[in-house]
Structure 1
Amino acid sequence: MKDELGFTNIKRNLEDSKQNPNRKQVYLPYDIELLSILKDAVIITDKNFIINYWNPAAEEIYGWNANEVLGKDVKKVLQTKYMENGCTEKMQELLNEGSYEDNVVQLTKKNFPLFISSKVVTIKDDLGNINGYISINRDMTDQKSIEKKLERSFNILNSIIENTTDAIYLKNLDGNYLMANSSASKIFGKPMSEIIGHTDWDIFPQDEAKSIVKSDKKIINDGNTVTFEEKIFSKLEGKFRTYLSTKGPYKGYDNKILGIFGIARDITHFKIAEENYRTLFETMIQGVVYQDLNGKITAMNPAAERIMGYNFEEIQGRTSNDPIWKSIHPDGTEFQGDAHPSMVALKTGREVEDIIMGVDYPNREGYTWLNIHAVPHFRNGEKKPFQVYTTFEDITQFMIYDQKLRESKKRYQSLFNKMTEGFALHEIILNQEGKPVDYRFLDINPAFEELTGLKKGEVIGKLKSQVIPEDNIDWVKIYGNVAIKGESIQFDSYSATLERHYDILSFSPAQNQFAVLFTDITERKNVEKKLQDTMENLKLTNSELEQFTYVAAHDLQEPLRMIACFLQLLQKRYGNKLDKDADDFIGYAVDGAARMYELINDLLTYSRLNNRVIEFSDVDMNHILGMVKHNLEILIRENDAVITSDKLPVVKADEVQMVQLLQNLITNSIKFKGKKTPHIHITAEKLDSKWLFSFEDNGIGIKPEYRERIFKIFQRLHGPEKYDGTGIGLAISKRIVERHGGTISLDSKEDEGSKFNFTIRS
């Protein structure tokens, strides 16, 4: 028997048994070959959930080697979290029903979460007592897991033998026992201390020992492995039990015989073993079909019936060449019957794995896609298989996803080639200290070539230092942070080497990689520069215009004051001495001069707003309102105006301009009063970092279409003969509010009063 059956680990199992004398073995005979090729994780534990068997698929799925987990608590290794009911409910179901199925979350060796479809079945002894559990787990995390090839190795037997019900032992050439497992100790009826180091003469009666020694010598002389039945008296039970024993020489590295190994299986438990195998066979998630040497179906499990849509009676005796189903390759070509994996395995005597086949079952709509693995079976010494079993699983959904992925990739490639933004994918180059020192171009799109002038053949696979050796920007540092930290950044910059401005978005699609999406904004930058120059010129022009306005208005005051003075003198001296027309003419001239003087004064006030430096300080608006009431005392009294307010806040503002602002708004409300006694109410509301002030009156109001017009300089809605003033008061108010970082607006309806709202920073 070959070493790959697990004899190299028997010593470790013996030592483990010595260290854990109370630990019981799980008794589970089953088809080892079938377990070894399953793509689902098969985990066998004792009744305390201590792992006794861990198949290759479990190693691949969870990342733990069998040697790392054997003897450990499966719950601590996998850290299972149940999707629906908790652990307690599942254990109760397992004890009551003998099995359960559930979707769970389990962790890999690297603590990566996996979504697992799990089925757990109890293992019972002759008396029906639970002495272990079988878990069959399928990784549902990634559909591509169905493409993974099963790595089969007879190393799986190491774990099984250490926990098998078979008696296993080794003897040297002198007949001394070098090791024996707990089952051997049970069969021999001796503790380990009376077996290891002793011979058969010490353990068995003389007649039995003589027969055993004679058999051992023949095996050593012939060098053959033999299998035979033998009866051994069980001292524990007081009766003989029949064992199927296998003995053979074990050899060293130089192929020299070092002794004898022996395996004895209690075949009185065959029916129990057969039932356990049937349980595993029938609860597998994968379909399993057995065919004889002629390719005729001889057995199939429930999963196969479900996947194929037939029960066993319907297709028993049929072959892969049967016309009831049509099979195709992924490219659509027909699958000939002799090319079916099971037929190839029978013909060649070799395993055939990972064959993708679409089957058009008559009772199904469309093709059912299968991933198939066929394994031939041989009788001892025969070179031609006598049967083949095929395992398969339905990957139709994966094939649909794969087709959609290919279509999506095709659309992506079309978009990639047609997009107007430049795109490039790179990998960062790090030095021994892990710092970025360069990067390599992996892919670029046509727009990249157009926007940079660099061609694909010139950059792909090359380093930045080769393509753009010098530049005014440290691109490696910028993109290195993106690739290492996984952070996205967006910025615009100018490349002196390429002589272009770019708007750039960079992100990391994978570890140590970064992608760049960019557009050429050189023209926009040129326009922005021209616009900035124009704004500077306009600002200078406005400043000069404001200065001119101020000087002009200031210089007009003196001659206008002289004209007004002499007109008033002329009116006083010659009034009622000339005819009525002359008196009217003089009166018009005096009124015009007065209005012109008022207009120039308002214009000076407006221009001073821009020239005067604002001095911000804490200003109590309650105090400001008091000052305004005092300044307007005569106007308020003459119009019987009522001015009320809520408690007003302290704001950061220019005190002089706050007085002017409130005074203008109150004067405006009194001036445009209605038939009712003027009533003005002032409130303030905190909005984030600003205060919203509201001045609400019961005046004549204005039409909605004039709301913006009234804030423009010299804009009047009424003639001077009806309402005095120059039409500049609200324009001044607007300028004051804007210089304090706020806005002003009006909410009003004709004959329903007005409500001025403005904001001031808090």
Structure 2
Amino acid sequence: MTIRPTSSMVQTGSSRLGGLMTVQFTELVSVDELQRLLDSLYRATAIATAVLAPDGTILTASGWQDACVEFHRKHPTSAARCGESDAHITGHLHDGPFVGYRCKNGLNDYACPILIEGEHVATLFTGQFFLDPPDDAFFLAQAAECGFDPVAYLEAIHRVPVLEKERVPSILEFLTNLAQNMAASGMARLRELAANRRVIDSKEQELRLAFEDLSREKQWIEAILKGMPGIFYTLDFTGRFIRWNTNFERVTGRDAEELARISAHELFLGEDQARVVQAIGEVAEQGEAMVEASISHKDGRTTPYLFSGIRADIGGTRLLVGMGIDVSELKRIEKDLRLYRDHLEEAIAERTTELQRSKHLLDETGRLARVGGWEIDLVKNDLIWSEMVYRIHEVGPEFHPELETAINFYAPEAVPAISEAVGLAISEGRPFDLELQLVTATGKRLWVRAVGEAIRRDGKVVSVRGVFQDIDASKRVELELKRHREHLEELVAARTEELARSVENLNRSNNELSQFAYVASHDLQEPLRMVSSYTQLLARRYQDQLDQDAKDFIGYAVDGANRMQRLIQDLLSYSRVTSRGQDPAPLDTHDALGLAVTNLQSAIQETGAMIANGDLPMVLGDRTQIAQVFQNLIGNGIKFHRSSEPPRVSVSAFPTPGKPGFWTFRIEDNGIGIEQRHFDRLFVIFQRLHGKLEYPGTGIGLALCKRIVERHGGSIWLESEVGRGTIFYFTLPSAQPDNGART
């Protein structure tokens, strides 16, 4: 048979067991023990029994008769009669302690409900037996009706036990007592489960509160990291980053994914990289270290920082915890001081010493950081401080801050500002960032930085939290630096005026010297021409009367006069760069290059040289002088060529990296090359690397190029390798605002 459910679960009322609770019947009673009990009952009485869940699921059973299982339940007609029996028992299950029904298939069934706290949690079933001997004629007729094998069917019917009617009440009494015992056992188990549940609920509440405390602590830490003026990071001792604040991503120009892939030393270059690696090693060995190095941005920019780090054991792992402070402003001040240190009076030297002491104080302040976190919980009406905030106020951990008390710690003149800022943050959610003076519990006045922001929930401000930092040392340095800088500016202004007068005198002297060089060089050419002309006339007129020594002497004199004349002409060109140069104007450098190549045609044809150029830009320059630069540099490439192959010279240009508004020109040759140790001598006037018989010249060409390029506001340099050729670079200002190449 099958019993239909009224409920499959047990719910205990809060009035009885201290809280609503839902459990399965199988959680209250051991099914294995129940199965052994029913098996024992079957062996003793041959009576089939079962325990069913309210939904009809059989939880345990013993002794089911073949007449029902193999015959009645398998034919539609007899199965319908079984259904009528099920329906009757289900409908009358709660009419009394038990309900019985003689199935139309001829067998008797009985059931009683198992109730806990008035809830139907299971059904105890017995039956599939006769109260009178079976009527074979009735069952043979039923076999014919349903198409059963009459022999097998009668054998199954005869295996069904026949009970005396007098035994049925005692069996039903036993089963009722069994049901009541199971209910009592289930109730005890239910009470045990309810007690366990209360313990579990209590532990869950404790865990939930602990999690909220950890979450709040994490929020404080994140607020501290976010409000720090510098960068914060943790890394392992291989240099891999573990954690960092958002300011670190901004300073390096790298996102979280990029930082997770690189090591710390990859953010530094050259000597800085070596210093950083050494400092990491010192932290690992000694527990702490400080280092000053320039950290590089992804776009190539570098920023000087002062880094400090300590060794910490976090979660069983040794890590480096560090922070860095931007010292760009201090570096700029140091540079200014170095520029004027040798020219200022003794008072400036004393001021410099004071500034260096201030810098040291500021560095120490940055290393210590002294930053804490705070929160005003408007829901709980509570003010919470981190440990560092207690230290800055110079109070112990037993001190319990309140909002009014905390505001009164500020200096009297600062109270209105902080009161207004906190009030607006609470009422309007307005953030604030203030630098104010605080009076500690011991009466010490400190400059502090108070940063706060509102936290909203469902559009309503529920708390205000932020960062609290002791900036007393840096603030006092800042005020002192301001006073020093104002005094320094007065001294610099006086020195600048003095330097301006010196520059004016120097320019006047240079102009006079250039004029003198021009006049002297011009006047020297006439006697040299006369010496050369008369010496050559003497050689022609008395050629037949002179011996070979006299002819050689005359040749030496003519050659010397010619070289002297070339030297004077080059010297004139050198002096005319500033005295006779034209004002820079828009210039197509193709034209200047064309003029230089035309002037070099004789040398090009003689050596078989090839001159190639790419697209060249418009610049601001003196056409004649720029052509002179091209001519001298290309001419060098032709003159100093290797004998094994003809000269090849290429000319190109590209925008100057890091210097907007300028073009860099590149002139490359395949000549003999230059040793690097001679680079510094090349641009000095009259300096030569080769003898005049091997390679003719006066040693002024590259000095002239340098003078012309610098007159145009540019610079010139070279790269070279002996036997592989030379590349000269020089820069000129662009004639176009967008610095674009001409197409």
State the TM bucket, normalised to the shorter chain: 0.3 to 0.5
- Bigger fraction of residues in strand: 1
State the TM-score, normalizing by the size of structure 2: 0.36
State the TM-score, normalizing by the size of structure 1: 0.35
- Bigger fraction of residues in helix: 2
Larger Rg: 2
